[in-house]
Amino acid sequence: MSEHVHPPQGGRCGDAELKMGSVTSYFGPLCGKEEKIEEERHFRANDRPFNLSYHYADNAIKTAKYNLFTFLPLNLFEQFRRLANAYFLFLMVLQVIPQISSLSWFTTAVPLILVLSMTAVKDASDDLNRHRSDKQVNNRLVDVLIDGELKNEKWMNVQVGDIIKLENNQFVTADLMLLSSSEPLNLVYVETAELDGETNLKVKQALTVTGEMGDGIDALAGFNGEVRCEPPNNRLDKFKGTLNLDGQTYSLDNDKVLLRGCTLRNTEWCFGLVIFGGPDTKLMQNSGKTIFKRTSIDHLMNVLVLCIFGFLALMCTVLAIGNAIWEVREGSVFTVFLPRDQEASAALSAFLSFWSYIIILNTMVPISLYVSVEIIRLGNSFYIDWDRKMYYPKSDTPAQARTTTLNEELGQIKYIFSDKTGTLTQNIMTFNKCTINGKAYGELFDFSGQRVEITEKTEKVDFSWNQLADPKFAFHDHSLVETVREGNEEARAFFRLLALCHTVMPEEKKEGELNYQAQSPDEGALVTAARNFGFVFRSRTPESITAVELGRQVVYELLAVLDFNNVRKRMSIIVRDPKGKLTLYCKGADTIIYERLHPSCNKLMEVTTRHLNEYAGDGLRTLVLAYKDLDESYMDEWKLRHHEASTAMDDREERLDQLYEEIEKDLMLLGATAVEDKLQDGVPQTIEQLAKADIKIWVLTGDKQETAENIGYSCNMLREEMKEIFVVAANTAEAVREELQNARRKMCPDGAEEPTVIKGRAGLFWMEKMERVEDEKTEGEYGLVINGHSLAFALEKDLQLELLRTACMCQTVICCRVTPLQKAQVVQLVKKYKQAVTLAIGDGANDVSMIKAAHIGVGISGQEGMQAVLSSDYSFAQFRYLQRLLLVHGRWSYLRMCKFLKYFFYKNFTFTFVHFWYAFFCGFSAQTVYDEWFITLYNLVYTALPVLGMSLFDQDVNDRWSFQYPQLYSPGQLNLYFSKKAFVRCMMHSCYSSLILFFIPWAAMHDTVRDDGKDVADYQSFALLAQTCLLIVMNIQLCLDTHYWTAVNQFFVGGSLAAYFAITLTMYSNGMFLIFTSSFPFIGTARNSLNQPNIWLTVFLTSLLCILPVVAFRFILIQLRPTINDKVRTKLRKEALPAPAPRRPPARRISTRRSGYAFSHAQGYGELVTSRRFLLKMPLRSRPALFTQTDSPLAQNQPQFYRTIAEEPEDSQGPRAGGAAAAAE
């Protein structure tokens, strides 16, 4: 790969990185090496021998599990950990011993080898892909400073303490301390999408003392600073360390560090010192372990297989004892013509017959069970891949089942953990509405005064009069343009404010082609709106702002920027226009601005508030705008005090805040803006459907609280009719406990104070300890919003059960400001104590740990690169496809798998029990009741396809009805269709059927003669009759179980019966006997028996006695205790298909809650914008483009925040956890 990694490759480049648990230590423990825990990292720049003595990890990464030598042993070891595989291996060994075996060894060997090799090939190809991606990442090249010169080195050879040079658009090689850069003030711009999902730029700044070295190779080579810092950890938002240089100590924090996984943007070059490499980097530390996921049915099957082994051993013991008794009592009579071996005794005979019966009765757990399960899962995965209704044409993305082993678990989901940005929202901001001087703009009304819904077909405002307008900006209310162009003063002041009061950086490549780089997407949206309405922000210097107002260029003198921060929640700017008039422009959150307005604005404030409530009801993000005229003398005096405060050594922040407070009062209200953060299509409907299916949805987002709440409302997750929405935002553990307890007591006043934890055991041999917290009932619906600070306390040992109890009582839980690791911890908490199936869905690298932690991980292939998709089990392009994945594919897969298992155990138990009854009639001699060929072909040919047909095509109701009645989903969550109870019922049913299938043919054949007087009561004729009855009954039972007939099912059932008769007649023919005499002893049996009417009457009677009770029982059950499926199916017979639901415009919600400040959550750039050294570049060179695609709607420069709903080219994705999350705390 070339040295410059350009953005288009960006998505894939970090792929490998996140899939890695630190596998490097995999073999450490095996070799007996003790891992020392690192307390502190200490290294020296440019001193490899010194740094190597600490044995820090180098920069190579390893995510693959196997290599050439370890593949076979490790893979076989993993496969034989599956109980059934080990059991079949044991059987095969038994079948090779001639004294025991009454069946040939190939009946077990062939299927076992097939299964093992299929799985091994699948594992090998997965691992090869991992090797490839590791190799690709490890072999990327970077410039490293070695022995005083820059050399091109592979990434994997980079060591801690090396100095490396990065260029624009390159990936950051390892975690680095920034030394110097090409930009003024030693700034660099990085994009952190791989780490926290944010596509806008972050700014990092080097220490001045290292920045002075610039790109002087000699200075850098002579740099010998010593760094002491924290050991490797997974906190993306914090870094503590110190640099010792020439006897001085400088402190290092997160702003001086570039993390692996970031991309350098807009910066020609920079130099950095490697702090952490490879597995120690924060990216790798955050990647979470890859867990081998198994479904609950897998776990249940393991337990059932154990029970079956126990039962098998019991049966064989009974038969062996029977053999001993028979040998002593009856066996001596036969020794005349069946002489025994000399040393043989009854005990030895019993011992051998025990093992012989183990071989004969092994069909209770046939290996074909495992093969069939894999085939069914594969088939159901293909349905997901092929589903056209989950294909997204705009980005040409089909749904993809990346794991084939988890399908039926999709039908049992109880909790969904979703990311917000890019999963629920598109992360695209649009300027939708505004209110200026009491008049609202942006809505359309028809002649009768009714609100018209705005769609893509609605006529747009024509901005062609404005040469500098942004062609991608769309607005539909023509009256606003007319107001501005007619010379309305308030409207002009409104847009002038938007064009001046911000920290956006403009970039003009060609004359008139403007690109804005904003700190948050909504800042960009507001400046773009002003630009289109004729107030174009053109350029800025530290002392001035140039704007083009309705075609006229105006230069404003910039006197002060009163910057935004989380406490102020507002931003102001003081400018002098060309006429010398001084004005302060301010924009901010409504509550904050309202407190500072002049009393004369009260009337206007009421009207504006009404509009703001409407906007909040639509889920829009609002900002209020105000201004104030200043007089010259006051301003001079204020500037002096401002200068003193800003250079003060102590209490600088407080003094500045007081000054800002003093000047920002008695403001005049202009109006308010409403920006829409578009939701993805169909999100509210999907959430409503999933809630009806009794699935609980938790949103875990790195975004700030107001944004998350707003989206909660617009998604229908939080509803006005909810009884109460609790907000937990305390800053100490005690206060968090109190808030959680108060919420719990309100929801469930008579609940116990202490949580009841039910302890139990589960798993194989009941080795695993299990703890479960019961669900508690509440009256009405509640919501819970908890922020990252409080969540950190709540996840600690002594508080987590309190959090779990309170959260699980709520219908909706929203956690904001969450780090990637906290997302995973929340998922694990629910997994551990709820014993419910969980699903995590996200689209960015910061969702990877959560996707890996949940039972099922779903990745959305959106705008944030491919990280989430690569770690996921299922992926698709839009959140709304989740309802189809669960309510249709998931439910069907679960239903099919349960039906398959019940029927499969039934047919095999029945088959095996007949052997058991026969033992009492053959002196317990381990003779088989059926022909040996029938035993070999029973599971492989005669019954394989019909049951596969049912398990691949069966549906209780079709997809439309599944959507119409989401309640159909709930039996899966409660595991109603296949459980230990269902298994016991299945065994009892088999026991009854096998008694009929053995004793009716036995009694009917007893002493019977053919119509020509010859005998039919011989062993071979009986074997043929028994197996024919068995097969016909099994097929009728299958037909009763099938709800949905297709041509394929009919063909399989008819075909397998036809195949049975054809094969039987062939095998029992003279020709086969003459060619292979010893293999086909049943000569002529078929034609002698099957032409007798009494044989067919026996088959009919047996079938009737087996099937009638089943039909009667099912009929009575539906009458007395119908399941939800029965009710819907009855309804379905009476009604026509439901039509697809119409798209209705959403109802208007008037809300008193309002979105918070729509700026970035990090400190603003006011200082930077006005700093003297900023923009002191050589005038010749224009800055390189921020994004190579100029059409990105995101020209941004620091955390993004708000988003909203229409299907647009989805371009970009925003705020996320991690770095962003902390910036605000």
pLDDT tens readout for residues 784-813: 999 888 898 999 888 899 999 999 999 899
Please provide the size of the chain in residues: 1225
Radius of gyration of the chain (CA): 37
| Paired tokens of 944 | 């394989």
Under the banding of pLDDT at 50, 70 and 90, the label for residue 277 is very high
Under the banding of pLDDT at 50, 70 and 90, the label for residue 501 is very high
Model pLDDT, residue 1197: 38
Q: Shortest CA distance to 876 belongs to which of 400, 316, 416?
A: 400
The whole-angstrom separation of Cα 3 and Cα 1 is: 7
Please state which of the ranges 280-289, 896-905, 1106-1115 shows the lowest mean pLDDT: 280-289
- 8 A C-beta contact, residue 243 and residue 177: yes
Model pLDDT, residue 1002: 93
Tell me: pLDDT of 643 over 90.
no
C-alpha 768 chain-centroid distance: 26
Model pLDDT, residue 83: 74
- 8 A C-beta contact, residue 908 and residue 991: no
Tell me: pLDDT of 1215 over 70.
no
| Paired tokens of 747 | 């929801």
Count CB neighbours of 1133 within 10 A: 6
Model pLDDT, residue 1187: 40
Backbone angles phi, psi at 876, to 5 degrees: -155, 180
Model pLDDT, residue 436: 92
The whole-angstrom separation of Cα 221 and Cα 535 is: 51
Q: Per residue in 687-704, pLDDT tens?
A: 999 999 999 999 998 777
Q: Which residue has the higher pLDDT, 1222 or 231?
A: 231
Helix 891-919 to helix 944-953 angle (10° resolution) is 160
Helix (H, G, I), strand (E, B) or coil at 1072: helix
Q: Per residue in 976-995, pLDDT tens?
A: 999 999 999 999 999 999 99
Q: Which of 175, 419, 563, 843 is catalytic?
A: 419
Model pLDDT, residue 1038: 96
Model pLDDT, residue 678: 80
| Paired tokens of 565 | 């921060």
Under the banding of pLDDT at 50, 70 and 90, the label for residue 1164 is low
Under the banding of pLDDT at 50, 70 and 90, the label for residue 1166 is low
Model pLDDT, residue 1137: 67
Residues 173-200 have a mean pLDDT of: 81
Residues 1011-1017 have a mean pLDDT of: 75
Tell me: pLDDT of 1185 over 60.
no
C-alpha 559 chain-centroid distance: 49
Instruction: Give the best-scoring range by mean pLDDT among 473-487, 763-777, 948-962.
Output: 948-962
Under the banding of pLDDT at 50, 70 and 90, the label for residue 3 is very low
Residues 596-620 have a mean pLDDT of: 86
Tell me: pLDDT of 1174 over 70.
no
C-alpha 838 chain-centroid distance: 10
Tell me: pLDDT of 567 over 80.
no
Cα-based torsion angle of the residue sequence 485, 491, 494, 498 in order, rounded to the nearest 10 degrees = -30
Residues 352-365 have a mean pLDDT of: 87
| Paired tokens of 549 | 């107002």
What is the pairing mode between strands 505-508 and 451-452?
unpaired
- 419 is a catalytic site residue: yes
Under the banding of pLDDT at 50, 70 and 90, the label for residue 1161 is very low
Q: Shortest CA distance to 925 belongs to which of 357, 364, 359?
A: 357
Tell me: pLDDT of 1063 over 60.
yes
Instruction: Give the best-scoring range by mean pLDDT among 730-734, 765-769, 929-933, 1096-1100.
Output: 1096-1100
Model pLDDT, residue 1107: 96
Q: Shortest CA distance to 404 belongs to which of 369, 373, 376, 378?
A: 378
Under the banding of pLDDT at 50, 70 and 90, the label for residue 1208 is very low
Q: Which residue has the higher pLDDT, 15 or 173?
A: 173
Model pLDDT, residue 1141: 59
Residues 178-187 have a mean pLDDT of: 86
Residues 1093-1105 have a mean pLDDT of: 95
Please state which of the ranges 144-148, 355-359, 463-467 shows the lowest mean pLDDT: 463-467
Cα-based torsion angle of the residue sequence 273, 275, 277, 279 in order, rounded to the nearest 10 degrees = -160
Instruction: Give the best-scoring range by mean pLDDT among 119-123, 969-973, 1129-1133.
Output: 969-973
Tell me: pLDDT of 455 over 90.
no
Q: Per residue in 396-424, pLDDT tens?
A: 889 988 888 889 999 999 999 998 777 88
How far CA 806 is from CA of 413, 743, 777, 786, in Å, comes to 20, 7, 11, 11
| Paired tokens of 1150 | 């008037």
Q: Per residue in 627-638, pLDDT tens?
A: 999 999 999 999
Model pLDDT, residue 399: 93
Residues 917-931 have a mean pLDDT of: 90
Model pLDDT, residue 35: 56
Instruction: Give the best-scoring range by mean pLDDT among 400-404, 826-830, 862-866.
Output: 826-830
Q: Shortest CA distance to 470 belongs to which of 1183, 1198, 1190, 1189?
A: 1190
Instruction: Give the best-scoring range by mean pLDDT among 613-622, 651-660, 667-676.
Output: 667-676
The whole-angstrom separation of Cα 691 and Cα 710 is: 19
The whole-angstrom separation of Cα 1034 and Cα 1052 is: 13
Residues 439-460 have a mean pLDDT of: 82
Of all residues in the chain, what percent carry a pLDDT higher than 90? Answer: 38
The tally of CA atoms less than 13 A away on the side-chain side of residue 515 is 21
Of all residues in the chain, what percent carry a pLDDT higher than 70? Answer: 87
The whole-angstrom separation of Cα 813 and Cα 700 is: 8
Tokens 């944030």 correspond to: 864
If you average pLDDT over every residue of the chain, what do you get?
Answer: 83
Please state which of the ranges 310-314, 542-546, 898-902, 984-988 shows the lowest mean pLDDT: 542-546
Return the bridge partners of 621, or none. 675
Model pLDDT, residue 785: 93
Residues 497-513 have a mean pLDDT of: 81
Model pLDDT, residue 1140: 63
Backbone angles phi, psi at 422, to 5 degrees: 80, -15
Model pLDDT, residue 32: 43
Q: Per residue in 16-51, pLDDT tens?
A: 444 443 333 443 444 444 457 888 999 999 999 999
Element (H, E) at 270: strand 269-276
Residues 662-675 have a mean pLDDT of: 91
